[in-house]
Amino acid sequence: MINLAKRDIEHTLGKFIVTAMGVGMLLGIVLIMIGVYRGMMVDAEILLDDISADLWIVQEDTLGPFAESSRVYEDMKNIIYVIEGIDKSEAMTFQNIQLPSHDKPVRVVAVGYDIYGSINPINPKRLIAGRELKNDHYEIVVTDKTGFKLDEKIKLGRNLYTVVGITHSTVSNGGDPLVYISLKDAQDLQFSYSNKEIQNNEARGVKNSEAFMVNTIVARVKSGYDVDEVAQDIRKWQHKSVYTKEQQKEILTKNLIEKSAKQIGLFTAILVVVSTIIIALIIYTMTLEKMKEISIMKLMGLPNSLIISMIVKETLLLGVFAFIFGNIFSHLIYDRFPKRIVLEIPDAWTLFGVVIIASILASFVGVKKVISADPAAAIGG
């Protein structure tokens, strides 16, 4: 039996391909949107995974440095260290800063850590040039996305910092590039006041004791100890909020990214609906263009099923080709976006399923038109 859909597409191949490319671009954007969400999930976990702490000890009744402001004394790390079950503990700071750059300022998250400490937030695998921090002051490790080069000087606060190392793929949970500085420099940046302000505060009787604050204490638990039990001990005796790595991930992904995920999900859903409507309109137009032929086929006695099958096959082929073009399009442009886009094969297959369902739904408008076509319209010009 003649494959009417194949013949019709071959007859208007150029038009069909251009149409599929147009719809494909929309589907490509759907894939990019899903990729943005996946990228956010990956970004959210990079720092947590690199630090690889079992426990995050933060200011009581706060959710920790990524969700809320948290301040604890730096020496808390020593108190934590002596708690039974604790293997390592270190103090860390996290702060948003703006680096002056050649073109425009770069928004980054600075991680402050004790360069002599036992927990290093820099994953050696991500270090692509230079070295880690070796000196207590005025050294900085930046991620490649900031655009800084090795040995470049960056003015931060009142001091000039030298770029000693460059990392790749290190971003905060918000997608901002990460930079690493020593804990002392970070405390200076975050908690130290200018000399004039210190003088004013002392005159007012206010002590400037914040220079020894940090945002969190991170700790690793010895093997054989239950992380939750150790966390419970700290909560009980130290009046601090304590989160395990999993809880911290949940705070980041569920609480912080949830809204963004919903927003992206809504955009994606709207795009899918728009794509379906566009496919339906294209099929409707394609069917309208063939109404005379459809009337003739009906008049000649061709069964509806044969004509409907042509319309449905054409719609499905349009969906499949659009999906292929969408994939090509998304893979061509995904690395041009400023934030991480993660394109995953399972997402593509899910979209393929959605496209097939959408195509079948879209074909209904063409099918309805076929059913209503009057065979008598073929007679009488």
Partner 1 sequence: MNREIAIKVQNLVKNFGKDENLVKVIENASFEIKKGELVALIAPSGAGKTTLLMMIGCVQEPTSGEIWLGEEKVYDNKWTAKDTRKIRREKIGFIFQAHYLIPFLNIIENVTLLPQTNGVSEKAAKQKAMELLEYLEIADKAYSMSSQLSGGQNQRVAIARALANNPEIILADEPTAALDAQRSISVIKMLKKIAIEQNVAIITVTHDERILPYFDRIMKIENRGIVFHELGEDKIL
Of 338 and 381, the one with the shorter C-beta distance to partner 1 is 381
Give the integer Cα–Cα distance in Å for 16 and 8.
Answer: 10
Structure tokens given for 148: 């800084």
Q: Which is nearer to partner 1, 119 or 378 (CB)?
A: 378
- Which residue's entry shows tokens 């039996």? 1
- Distance between CA atoms of 333 and 343, rounded to whole angstroms? 11
State the nearest-atom distance from the C-beta of 301 to partner 1, in Å. 3
Which phi and psi angles does 287 have, rounded to 5°? -70, -45
| Least distance from partner 1 to the Cβ atom of residue 316, Å | 17
Rounded to a whole number of angstroms, the minimum distance from the CB of residue 307 to partner 1 is: 11
227 forms part of the interface with partner 1 (CB under 8 A)? no
3-class secondary structure, 303: coil
Beta bridge partners of 90: 218
Instruction: Verify binding: residue 4, partner 1, rule CB under 8 A.
Output: yes
Which member of 157, 263, 292, 350 binds partner 1 (CB under 8 A)?
Answer: 292
Q: CB of residue 2 vs partner 1: minimum separation in angstroms?
A: 5
**Region binding partner 1 by CB under 8 A among candidate stretches 44-52, 179-187, 220-228, 293-301:** 293-301
Helix (H) or strand (E) holding 142: strand 139-143
Query: Which CB atom, from 18 or from 376, has the smaller least distance to partner 1?
Result: 376
Cross-strand partners of 91: 217
SS3 60: coil
Q: In terms of DSSP bridges, do strands 213-214 and 72-73 run parallel, antiparallel, or are they unpaired? A: antiparallel
Do the Cβ atoms of 351 and 323 come closer than 8 Å?
A: yes
Structure token digits, residue 85: 């079950």
**Residue span 8-37 as binding mask against partner 1, x where in contact by CB under 8 A, dash where not:** x-xxx-------------------------
The amino acid at residue 50 is D
The residue type found at 101 is S
CA 133 to chain centre: 28
Given 3-state DSSP classes, what are the helix, strand and coil percentages for the chain, each rounded to the nearest 5? 55, 20, 25
Nearest approach, Cβ of residue 309 and partner 1 (Å): 12
Least CB distance to partner 1 at residue 251 (A): 59
Residue 296, helix vs strand vs coil: helix
Stretch near partner 1 under the rule CB under 8 A, chosen from 33-41, 126-134, 161-169, 291-299: 291-299
Which residue's CB is nearer to partner 1, number 198 or number 302? Answer: 302
Site map 297..316 versus partner 1, x via CB under 8 A:
xxxxxxx--x----------
Q: How far apart are CA 143 and CA 163, in angstroms?
A: 10
Q: What's the min distance (Å) between Cβ of 263 and partner 1?
A: 44
Rounded to a whole number of angstroms, the minimum distance from the CB of residue 372 to partner 1 is 15
Cβ proximity to partner 1, 12 vs 201, nearer residue: 12
Residues contacting partner 1: total by CB under 8 A: 25
Site for partner 1 in 157-216 (CB under 8 A): none
If binding is defined by CB under 8 A, does position 105 make contact with partner 1?
no
- Within 10 angstroms of residue 260's Cβ, the number of other Cβ atoms is 14
Where along the sequence are the contacts to partner 1 (CB under 8 A)? 1-2, 4, 7-8, 10-12, 292-293, 296-303, 306, 375-376, 378-381
